[in-house]
Amino acid sequence: MKKNKYSLKKIAKTMVIAVFALAFVACTGNFEDLNTNPYEVNTADLSIEAQLIKPLTYVYAPHQNMFQFYTNLSVDLFGGYFMTPHNFGGGGNADYKLNQGFCGGVYENFYLNIFNTTSSMIPICTEKKLTDYAAVLRIVQAYAAIVATDSYGPMPFKSVLEKSETLYYDTQKDIYAYLFQDLEKAINEIKQFTASNPSDERKAGLAKFDYWCDGDHAKWIKVANTLKLRMAIRLSKVEPALAQTKAEEAVAAGVLTNADTDILINKNLSNELWRMFAWGDCGMNASLVTMLTGYEDPRLPLFLTKNTGDVTEDTGKKDTDDKPILKVLVPKGTLYVGVRAGCTLPSKPNAWVNYSGMNVQEHTPLPVMKVAETYFLRAEGALRGWNMDGTEKDLYEEGIRTAINNDYKYYNPFAADAVKPTDEIITAYINNTTAKQSDFVDPADATNNHKAMNTLSVKWDAGASKEEKLQRIITQKWLANFPISNESWAEFRRTGYPKLFPVKNNSSNGTIDTDVQIRRLIYSNVEYNTNKAELDKAITLLGGPDNGGTKLWWDTNAGASNF
């Protein structure tokens, strides 16, 4: 076979250069070189288990530049959880003037740090009869591939697995079909392995690299089924019959429940979200803050801090040392306040950098999958008339209970103002009929203010329309999934819920509708530079131009009924 001039190796090299260059644009300070360190051990000389750690950890990249590039400059902004308190001198994504380099992070993290390993090591593990290892890699690969294709649309996928001479793109529909099959294969591989009566030593091998489930084979099956359920719900409008079949299969086979723990990587790795706040490059999104404050949500002091510094304005006067005299608008530590998307904000330092922060520290465990999500997925399935082993009301309320209890366990070690939510507090939250989202008030600039957009209370209403019931389910799932932005952004695009504050300034030149909001990331400049011929074909498969307003395959009837 001829050498593929568009090989993953060549693309990966270009990606390294792109990410390294980004460091000088996005941040300040000294940065690690992402290129290969000549003094590092060659990964091929490591044990197989040691080689398999990287793809499991890079689903929430534990590297400062890659994390910012992967999610914090794009997906984190669009999912409604976070917002940059400045806009990189007009070069960021917050106002929809999309920066092609910033938009490339999801693509490049997937190929460079995840797919590059999984696609090569699955056959090796299979050949060495390490079938449970191969199965775990298939599940991780599916998890990451969903994130990637749900960000862009068509992607090179089967061409990588086939080691094709040409890195051709697959449609999103074909990628989903392949992933459903591969997840089934992974489930069967794990079942066959455990049924083969392996030795204790052989079973323990998985734990050497299993940063998700700590070597628990049965839990990996639940993770795979939960991914199937997540994918099925995503297809509920575009392929409703297939979605129902796959969802019911997943629930019948066993998904994550509150008998399980959340999937968190608790291996003393660096949670780079803390660094984004430390750099002054990340703030809390006004949509999230106003939902938590308005709902009187017990997770508010778990998730967030009050303003991290005095919020001030320049009085226009100077002191005897010729320094500006500042007026304190909000004293430090007195207000929960977020940043609205798309505002014209000055370079840091500024007032908005001192708004609310997040209770995250350097070694806070990395979030991968929340158990509570499965209850909300099942609640929506039940609402659609599918067999989800429960009613929509019961599953919705159990999702809330699970989310609040698990988030307390997760954030309590890092939240100074945390108060353990008692059963009475959680029940009162579930039954609240009056608390609703707060209006957004920007203390530093009233022109950024916006009226609340979500007018439903938390309490389940059996007499409400299906649309209102779905809004409640998705809103609580959105709160439960914090801070996993990729899933929340995908569900916002699919359903329109919760309603997120629109950007104040839309600089997309008409390619993105302000009210409908951004629908996808644009393709990486790496692909334009290394694989343009196939990328041009991919844009045809996309069904629209390569801009942020083009909808993905499953993104149908946006703004219309979900039923």
Q: For residue 238, give every residue at least 6 positions away whose Cβ sits within 8 Å of its Cβ, in sequence order, or none.
A: 553, 554, 556
Report the alpha-carbon distance of residue 197 to residue 162 in Å, rounded.
33
Residue with tokens 């940059």: 84
User: For residue 46, what pLDDT is reported?
Assistant: 87
At 526 the pLDDT is 87
Contact 457, 432 (CB under 8 A): yes
- The neighbouring-strand residues paired with 366 are 265
Q: For residue 493, count CB atoms less than 10 angstroms from its CB and return exposed for 0-12, middle for 13-18, buried for 19 or more.
A: buried
Give me Rg for the CA atoms of the chain. Answer: 23
Terminal-residue alpha carbon distance, the chain: 49
Residue 16 near residue 112, CB atoms below 8 Å: yes
Rounded Cα gap, residues 258 and 423, in angstroms: 15
**What is residue 440's DSSP assignment?**
B
Write out the chain's pLDDT in tens, 563 residues.
344 444 565 555 555 444 444 444 444 333 233 334 444 456 667 899 999 999 999 999 999 999 999 999 999 999 999 999 998 988 899 999 999 999 999 999 999 999 999 999 999 999 999 999 999 999 999 999 999 999 999 999 999 999 999 999 999 999 999 999 999 999 999 999 999 999 999 999 999 999 999 999 999 999 999 999 999 999 999 999 999 999 999 999 999 999 999 999 999 999 999 999 999 999 999 999 999 999 999 999 999 999 999 999 989 999 888 888 999 999 999 999 999 999 999 999 999 999 999 999 999 999 999 999 999 999 999 999 999 999 999 999 999 999 999 999 999 999 988 889 999 999 999 999 999 999 999 999 999 999 999 999 999 999 999 999 999 999 999 999 999 999 999 999 999 999 999 999 999 999 999 999 999 999 988 899 999 999 999 999 999 999 999 999 999 975 578 99
Taking CA atoms, 461 is separated from 235, 295, 471, in Å, by 26, 16, 11
Helices and strands (DSSP H and E) totals, the chain: 24, 8
Report d(CA 30, CA 497) in Å as an integer: 40
Cα–Cα distance, 280 to 390 (Å, whole number): 45
Reference 97, options 84, 109, 110, 106; nearest CA is 84
Question: Which residues are within 8 A (CB) of 293 and not within 5 positions of it... i.e. 6 or more apart?
Answer: 300, 336, 438
Helix (H) or strand (E) holding 71: none
Check residue 1 and give its pLDDT. 37
CA 64 to each of CA 22, 28, 32, 33, 86: distance values in angstroms, whole numbers, following the listed order: 11, 12, 9, 11, 19
pLDDT score recorded for residue 15: 53
What's the pLDDT score for residue 10? Answer: 54
Q: Do 519 and 544 contact (CB within 8 A), yes or no?
A: no
> By CB neighbour count within 10 A (0-12 exposed, 13-18 middle, 19+ buried), where does 29 fall?
exposed
Residues β-bridged to residue 304: 358
How far apart CA 20 and CA 131 sit, in angstroms, is 36
Q: Which SS3 state, helix, strand or coil, does residue 450 take?
A: strand
- The 3-state DSSP class for residue 515 equals coil
